[in-house]
Chains A and B, each alone.
Chain A
């Protein structure tokens, strides 16, 4: 899933400074699962913004609504009735796709992101997420024991480990495990080191971000 993190409250407050009526829109997709922008987080942020306004003696209305997803036009359409009421700002609590879809659908509205989109990852434990994918567009994890050197190696090297690997930890931080250590250990434990030993060829990066924004069209699905 896409892992996001809420922006600091001061930054969000700066977006809505001087505004009186704000719509806070959550998303039931990835950001609900990573506890950043679901119904509950919308409720919490709305309460904090209202309390802050109350403290400052400012008149502020914060309405709350959570969409099934903010990255699909049919769900974004559901906001039309609410948006007609007229808001001074819409705060999106989705990954950055959400506010972009909202501002595209409602061009006259000021739309602000309330979350920082961090990475594609998974939950190692409840409340702990790590990066596992960089959307390079050409998955090669089967060559590496089911682990991704693109996203999980600090240098994204295809033939490792490098000299910065020490006791299974990357030189950049003791909190970052060396994925190359994990890959090599896995093959060694399974007695398959020979399969792993060949030098991997240069990766085909043509499907990655280097070619500009990417697009997928599935003709059989397009109306």
Chain B
């Protein structure tokens, strides 16, 4: 495992992923401490600009965690989020960033272990990719 501690931002839906994080906590599950969770009212609130601002602010990876497909509290917020993530992945690829640094995952409120696993899996992917190239210091 590399020494690099990535900075990861997770936009979590309040109806599922955010509660799944609570569940994981109640279950005393260990997961990577490199993730900072941002509460959003629905994964459908996720907008590409949120991820871009996160990358601009030094995030090495960003993911959106929404309800299981078919289980969105607002019917299709997670499907919309999935499309936005796919759109931004293309844009990031176009400017030379690994699209794997941005991801969409689905988890229900009761899936604490799944949430912890998602965090660890995504952290491993980002660690494998190394620090974000956006962090390069400006040329003198």
Chain A residues in the interface with B (C-beta under 8 A): 8-10, 40, 43-44, 47-48, 50-52, 54-59
A13: nearest residue on chain B (CB-CB)? Answer: B95
Which chain A residues lie closer than 8 Å to B139 at the CB level? 57-59
Assess the A59–B138 pair: CB atoms within 8 A.
yes
* B-side interface mostly: helix
Nearest 6 interchain pairs by C-beta: A47-B52, A52-B95, A55-B133, A57-B139, A54-B134, A9-B94
Contact of B56 among A9, A10, A50, A57 (CB under 8 A): A50
C-alpha gap A94/B111 in the complex (Å): 46
Which chain A residues lie closer than 8 Å to B1 at the CB level? none
Assess the B94–A10 pair: CB atoms within 8 A.
yes
* A-side interface mostly: helix
10 additional contacts, CB 8 Å, given A9-B95, A40-B47, A47-B53?
A8-B94, A40-B49, A43-B49, A51-B97, A54-B56, A55-B134, A57-B137, A57-B138, A57-B139, A58-B139
C-alpha gap A8/B134 in the complex (Å): 20
Chain B residues in the interface with A (C-beta under 8 A): 47-49, 52-53, 55-56, 91, 94-97, 133-139
Residue among A47, A52, A54 with most chain B CB within 10 A:
A54
Assess the B137–A48 pair: CB atoms within 8 A.
no
C-alpha gap A47/B47 in the complex (Å): 13
Q: Assuming the A-B contacts A55-B95, A55-B96, A58-B139, are A44 and B134 also in contact, with contact meaning beta carbons closer than 8 angstroms in the complex?
A: no
C-alpha gap A10/B93 in the complex (Å): 11
